[in-house]
Amino acid sequence: MRDLGPLIHEACAFYRYRDPGPGPILTLDQKVTLLLLKVLFEQSNRRMAGMLVTFSLLAGVDVSYKTVERLYSDPTVEVALTNLHTLMLRRRGVHRVELTGDGTGFALSITEHYATTAVKEKENAKENPPPPREGDSDGKKVRRFVYSFRLLDLRTWLYVAYGTSCRSERGAYEATLRWLESQAIEVRSIRLDRLYSHASDAERFRGAAFYILPRKDSKIHVQHEWLEALRSFVEEPVAHLEEYYRREHSEAGFSADKRMLGWRIAQRRNDGIETADRCHSTWDNPFNLFGPDRGSPADGLSR
């Protein structure tokens, strides 16, 4: 927590208030810190504003709940969170990565839980129903979950990239890959579940080892990474499965994040939902920023 302050300050160094007149109530450093603490404490906007009144005796920060709400749609906060993520990756020297990826859902309603619905509806829970059209009788059927996909580096346990979608888990996966492609990071290997076990998915990770469990309807395609994944699965099943099941670290990461930060996102606007999920993803990295490298089974280290 002590190291997080200087990182936030460095991430916000791009912004200087230059407009005439009195400056904003909160500096950009304070905005980012306030938003991250709100997510960590799992407080509503009103409760967080009330807590600030109490802590203003020490910190001198006293704002309304509307100010807290506006942080979710502040573009400078979004840029600062992106800078913070990049700084943490650079601090750990994340350039060549062995990735594991998985998706999850966060409830937008307090009456529904993603894990329970996923068990009951299986794959159907990974995609929200389309919004009702005007004139439909079922006008109360609304979006239930927001989907988050995250790529975890197995050496450092840092999230390398993440994405959000209000429509489906696949949409969050596509958003994650767009962010990954914008960074100068080399992917050495990746592990994905059956939803992403297609030749077209392997093609997006050229030069990387692709560890998957092939689907029953998998076809042979003339694509090097895909053919190598199938060859490894058939000829070296034990080694292939040992690597594939390192994907359990993604599930463990989601479990730890939800226990620490909650399983619900209280925002309703799309930009607020994306910012809230970004805060959830951001919090995991500081706790692993100065930890030891986990290595891989080939290094002789325990999984």
User: What value does the mean pLDDT take over residues 159-171?
Assistant: 92
What pLDDT digit, counting tens, does each position of 242-279 carry? 999 999 999 898 888 888 888 888 888 888 889 999 99
Query: Above 70 in pLDDT, residue 141?
Result: no
If one compares 47 and 147, the residue with the highest pLDDT of the two is 147
If one compares 20 and 72, the residue with the highest pLDDT of the two is 72
Q: Which residues of 69-93 are buried (b: 16+ CB within 10 A; e: fewer)?
A: bebbebebbbbbbebbbebbbebbe
Report residue 26 as tokens: 């909160």
CA angle, residues 175, 283, 99, in degrees to nearest 5: 50
Query: Above 60 in pLDDT, residue 194?
Result: yes
For residue 137, what pLDDT band results from cuts at 50, 70 and 90?
very low
- Mean per-residue pLDDT over the chain, rounded: 83
Query: Above 60 in pLDDT, residue 136?
Result: no
Report the SS3 class of residue 172: helix
Give residues with Cβ within 8 angstroms of 115, minimum separation 6: 263
Number of helical (H) and strand (E) elements in the chain, helices listed first: 12, 5
What pLDDT digit, counting tens, does each position of 60-116 carry? 677 777 888 888 999 999 999 999 999 999 999 999 999 999 999 888 865 566 666
What pLDDT digit, counting tens, does each position of 212-232 carry? 998 887 777 778 899 999 999
Q: What is the DSSP letter of 134?
A: T
Distance of CA 133 to the CA centre of its chain: 31
User: What pLDDT does 299 receive?
Assistant: 47
If one compares 142 and 181, the residue with the highest pLDDT of the two is 181
For residue 59, what pLDDT band results from cuts at 50, 70 and 90?
low
Query: Above 50 in pLDDT, residue 139?
Result: no
Which alpha helices (DSSP H) does the chain contain, by range?
Answer: 4-11, 28-41, 45-59, 65-70, 75-91, 114-121, 169-181, 199-203, 224-235, 237-244, 248-261, 270-284
Contact present, 67 and 49 (Cβ < 8 Å): yes
What pLDDT digit, counting tens, does each position of 278-303 carry? 998 899 888 888 777 776 544 433 33
